A and B are shown apart, each in its own frame.
Chain A
Amino acid sequence: MKKLNELTIVEARRGLQEKRFTITELTKACLEQIKKTDCKIKAFVTVCEKEALKTAVKYDQVLGKNLKIYEKKPLFGIPLAIKDNFCTKGIKTTASSNVLNNFVPPYNATVVQKLLEAGVIIIGKTNMDAWAHGSSTETSDFFTTRNPHDLTRSPGGSSGGSAAAVAAHQVTAAIGSETAGSIRQPAAWCGIVGLKPTYGRVSRFGLIAMASSTDSPGTLTKTIEDAAIILSVLAGKDPKDATSNPTPGKNYHQEITRPIKKITLGVPQEYFLPKMDKQVTAVVKKAIKELKSSGFKIKKISLIDPKYAIAVYTIIMRAEVSSNLGRYDGLRFGFSRKAFGQEARRRIMMGSHVLSAGYFDQYYLHAQKVRALILKDFKKAFKEVDAIVAPTSPSVALKIGAAAKDPLFGEMQDVLVEASAMAGLPGISLNCGWVNNLPVGLQIFAPQFQETLILKIAHQYEKNRA
């Protein structure tokens, strides 16, 4: 039998409704697992033990009187971890940077507000690459998070703390954010489900900005169903974020149980890189065969070589980083700019370079034009296929220390998710097999606002494998 901290959201909700255990017991199980394992994994920057237990006791009383509460509050009593770049009122929010090591936000990010209204219990704030700059949590100014499957390896990043916390069953689910790969890559490396919704599907208000034109809050969960439940809570227009989209969100959990129509999945040949880990390639190809035998039509397609997306992403992201980090003056909140770590400094300077007089047209403007071509390329592909499947990462989790050798480490690791992120497409990564006891991720992405479709495909795949 599963321990309470190992349950999925669906299982926890059922157990709570059937009064098999209490919210306090569920919360305690997570907190105990953190106490037992986090000295090694180091997923959390802040653990809110007292507050979480206090809320749990209070919620148990509410639940005792009203079992129908889940109709209005779908995450009632569910212990959740939140990446430390979402502002949480009264809870220190650092973005894992020394600059914000004293920052206690006076307001909640919209994502946090919506989760609290849906009844979650915030267990704590998770470690990340500082300012989300990286793909391994090694640029965190505090410490490096370890992969629960092998403590000598990275959990991926930047949402590495959230992914490791879920994989180590320290929480039922977690929230992350992705600019290009920061949810899907750590999900792949930790063997869980990572959902990056369409850009604008979920509000960015109160999310410490990295690259404003691609930042997307999303989920790290144990199952597809759990991702669908949280997305139903988060999706929707927010007047506080002008780029949040007016297209209304859906009850994705209900949607994914509906029968799936005939779907054609595209497999881009360019996404099986020549230098990729051969065993990873084999596992992903096997997963695609499984999709075929479960009724999906598979079609080979061709997309712009992902190596160009690395360059487009490097330019645009760093330009936006240099602008977004301009606000940290150490006067209104946080410490002075002297506290910026190396990676942030490099990115600020590179961003300033591509935006500076004489280089703007050559780099930034040109990159925005290539971005238009990437969007066009996907549009063309989606005339032939409904969604695209590919490996999430070119390798399994790498050893700690690999990032330090390369100033473009993050960009190189995220090569297979950058183009779709630059185009704002929704994408999901889920486990599709193992190489030397390390998980391999399969990504599925689709046209903008087709979250239902990718969740349905992923759900079908998950069901067939189970």
Chain B
Amino acid sequence: MSKRKKIAKKIDVDYLAQLGNLTLSKKEKSLYEKQLGKAVKYIKILKEIKTRGVEPVAQVTRLENVFFPDQVDKSLTQKQALSNASKQRKGYFVTQRIKWE
């Protein structure tokens, strides 16, 4: 395998950190690159199993269309909901400004 191909196969930890909203140190980056590479190598074992025509399963007890009755139920009070907030103002959570550039 050429060096270029090897690089292309490396896991893009910067991209994954961005998707997970995580900040990584330089040391973490190289560590995770290696460790995630090892994990990905292991899960490739599943290629040995043929799944043509198999329907995927996400809900193992096969429940479908579970609805709530459409009625008002008890819920937390505003004070309770805000009890763990890092910052609050006039009964609201204070968040950072969200801006797309």
Q: List residues of A whose CB falls within 8 A of some B CB.
A: 102-104, 106-107, 198-200, 213-214, 239, 242-243, 245, 307-308, 310-312, 314-315, 322, 325-326, 329-335, 337-338, 340, 342, 345-346, 348-350, 352-354, 356, 363, 365-373, 375, 407-408, 422-424, 448
Contacts and interface: CB of A to CB of B under 8 A. Distances in A.
13 contacts: A103-B84, A107-B76, A200-B63, A239-B69, A245-B61, A314-B39, A332-B81, A333-B85, A349-B13, A349-B32, A353-B16, A373-B49, A423-B60
A347 to B, nearest CB: 9
A213 B60 contact: yes
A329 B19 CA distance: 14
B80 A106 contact: yes
Given A243-B59, A337-B22, 10 more contacts: A102-B84, A106-B83, A200-B61, A214-B60, A314-B42, A322-B20, A356-B19, A363-B46, A408-B39, A448-B60
Task: List the 5 closest pairs (A to B, CB-CB), nearest first.
Answer: A333-B84, A368-B56, A424-B60, A369-B51, A106-B80
Contacts of B46: 308, 311-312, 315, 363, 366-367, 370
Contacts of B15: 356
A383 to B, nearest CB: 18
A345 B60 contact: no
Contacts of B60: 199, 213-214, 371, 375, 422-424, 448
Contacts of B17: 349
Given A245-B63, A369-B51, A424-B61, A350 B83 contact: no
A151 B40 CA distance: 34
A408 B45 CA distance: 14
A311 B43 contact: yes
A369 B28 contact: no
Interface in B6-22: 11, 13, 15-17, 19-22
Instruction: Categorize the interface residue count of chain B.
Output: 35 or more
Contact of A104 (B42, B44, B49, B84): B84
B88 to A, nearest CB: 10
A335 B86 CA distance: 8
Contacts of A106: 76, 80-81, 83-84
B72 interface: no
Contacts of A350: 36, 39-40
Contacts of A349: 13, 16-17, 19-20, 22, 32, 36
B22 A408 contact: no
Nearest to A304: B49
A367 to B, nearest CB: 6
Given A242-B66, A407-B38, A372 B22 contact: no
B42 A408 contact: yes
A106 B84 CA distance: 9
B56 A365 contact: yes
Contacts of A325: 20
Contact of A352 (B16, B42, B68, B85): B16
Interface string B51-68: 100111111110100101
Contacts of B59: 213, 243
A243 B32 contact: no
A337 B20 CA distance: 9
B83 A311 contact: no
A352 B21 CA distance: 11
A218 to B, nearest CB: 16
B35 interface: yes
B43 A352 contact: no
